[in-house]
Amino acid sequence: MNIDIPQVMVPSMNATHAEEVEIVRQLAAALRTDDEAALEEAAKAFAEHVEVHFTREEDNMRAHHFPPYPIHKSEHDRMRAIVRELCAGWRTPEGRAALARFVNEEFPAWLVQHVSTLDTVTAQYLAMQGVE
């Protein structure tokens, strides 16, 4: 799986994105096995990382009074709900297939688009505020 994430002006955001890509790769690998314990752990790690990632960005946006915060937050909330649902519902064949499709196709495409647009603008603003 090749996910080429654009770099933004805030190094800590780039690091978080790189961590998330690695976690997605681990989840994709777990989905290709019959190891349910590994899959459970990988799905939990992914859902937790998404929550930490989004919360950290939102905290920075609020702390620095980022004007389009509500727009960015609403996109995070939409994705949070999808991640939670799919990571909790993988135990059925349909749920597992949906999570695999999401992890291998939908989330990588969403992440690249999100970083290219909302995160790029956010990072430019936060960098001007001294966030690293």
pLDDT values of the chain reduced to their tens digit, one per residue, 132 residues = 678 999 999 999 999 999 999 999 999 999 999 999 999 999 999 999 999 999 999 999 999 999 999 999 999 999 999 999 999 999 999 999 999 999 999 999 999 999 999 999 999 999 999 999
For residue 2, the model assigns a pLDDT of: 78
Domain ranges (residues) in the chain: 11-128
Which three-class secondary structure state does DSSP give residue 49? helix
d(CA 89, CA 96): 7
What is the predicted pLDDT for the residue at 57? 97
Q: What pTM does this model have?
A: 0.95
In whole angstroms, what is the distance from residue 78 CA to residue 54 CA? 11
Give the pLDDT score at 3.
85
Packed helices 120-128 and 11-31: angle between N→C axes, nearest 10 degrees: 150
**SS3 state at 89:** coil
- Integer Cα distance of 32 and 11 in angstroms: 32
The domain 11-128: what is its CATH number?
A: 1.20.120.50
